[in-house]
Amino acid sequence: MRCRQQPPPTRLKKNDTVNVREPWLKRPLDVLLSSIMLILSAPVWISIALAIKLEDRGPIFYTQIRWGKDGRHFKVYKFRTMIADSDTVFGINQAQANDTRITRVGKLLRAMGLDELPQIINILLGQMSFVGPRSLAVGEIVKDHKGRIVPYETIYGFRERLKVRPGLTGLAAIYIPKDVSPRRKFRIDLLYIRKLSFWLDLRLIWLSFLISFQGNWETRKQKI
């Protein structure tokens, strides 16, 4: 099944105000949904852990320090999809197309978004939400539209997007190709913050489940 959706607008004027008022049902939804998913996904956790361990005997989980709401740092949890000690050997940078760091089990997990399952714990703790801007790794290597290495903090929209909790999924994650510049992704994040609503979150969660079932999270093109 392929669900066609119109992409969101990609422009945000610099003088636009940013609405950071969180819908009152957003946090209760996070707690309820994360609690249910933790219980229902328990068998999946066991299967994934066994597959990772059997492939290369390396660690099952991967942890990383990321930027949270109001600039606070927190530890994010994921199932490991890359070779052990990848950050130490190659530095902290996002996966690219045909990335040789990704394991065979990791490719399947990333395609279905199952590597993100442990972040349900972060959501339950209130460090993340199901929907929001992507959580950014502290010290991550990123490049601007000209290919220059730049810190996240220098990109327009970085501070504004820290006014809300980062999300497991979001507007940019669903609609924007993976290889576009951080600046463009940040502009979509700001649009999400301005349009923040409970019903928008429900829609994005539903679309995220569709993408997971289709195994399209790692596609470099349109996901839905």
What is the rounded average pLDDT of the residues 135-159?
A: 84
What is the distance between the alpha carbons of residues 94 and 41, in angstroms, rounded to a whole number? 26
Does the model's pTM come out above 0.75? yes
What is the residue-averaged pLDDT of the chain?
87
Q: Where are the domains of the chain?
A: 26-214
What is the rounded average pLDDT of the residues 157-161?
A: 92
CA dihedral sign, ordered 72, 147, 107, 90: negative
Lookup: tokens for 183: 């600046």
- Split at pLDDT 50, 70, 90, the class of 18 is low
